[in-house]
Amino acid sequence: MSAVTNAEELKTGSSWGGGKSPFSIEYGKLMMWFFLLSDAFTFSALLSAYGAIRFSNSDNWPDPDVVFQSAPFIPSGAPLVFVGIMTFILIMSSVTMVLAVEAGHRGSKKEVTKWMVWTILGGIAFLSCQAYEWAHLHHEGYWWGRIPTEHNVNFSNLFFTITGFHGFHVTTGVIINIIILINVLKGTYERRGHYLMVEKVGLYWHFVDLVWVFVFTFFYLV
């Protein structure tokens, strides 16, 4: 590459001089995929640690059917009902996010606004349910560093650490969605001529939902 070409690149701010880009994807979206990949490694490490500790202490590990019975207005003896409701809420919020992205592709500001609102409400509802469940488990004696006598204390430590880390991601997603919604209402993306930011935050939201499927399986079903 000639010195003249290098000088031109410095002026224009471009560093790609090889013709067609090898990636048919927008730069910001590519960076989001890299972030999600690194985050997936973190959750994988946490869940792998949980699996190793649990199956090496299977004789004194709490029974999920006994622990997870925290459902308002539902009598005791209906295990997993409440977490099933939580999971349904989060999955439906992923559906509304898909609809928001699709509406963005059509440039429909009104529909993007509607589906983003529903996605945010779904995230808030999920977090509220998680707060209720944590309060219930705390009341029952399951908390960081504490657990009913015959059970392994590692359960409570791992459960609250991993679900708390996931809850932090959901909270972050709700905040980002609110920021995106404000920009939608202000017409920011209409002026840009695209709703690519909605699609980027959608990738993050779907990742959070996918991670919950694994957390749900590891803690509540296995």
Q: Render pLDDT for 135-177 as a digit per residue (tens, 0 to 9).
A: 888 877 777 656 655 555 678 888 899 999 999 999 999 999 9
CATH node for 32-221: 1.20.120.80
Determine contact, residues 119/97, Cβ cutoff 8 Å: yes
DSSP-assigned beta bridge partners for residue 143: 146
Tokens describing residue 15: 């560093």
For 68, 72, 73, 92, the CA distances from 81, given in Å and listed in that order, are: 8, 10, 11, 17
Determine contact, residues 215/87, Cβ cutoff 8 Å: no
First vs last C-alpha separation in the chain: 58
Q: What is the pLDDT of residues 46-88, one digit of tens each?
A: 999 988 888 888 777 777 777 787 677 776 667 788 888 999 9
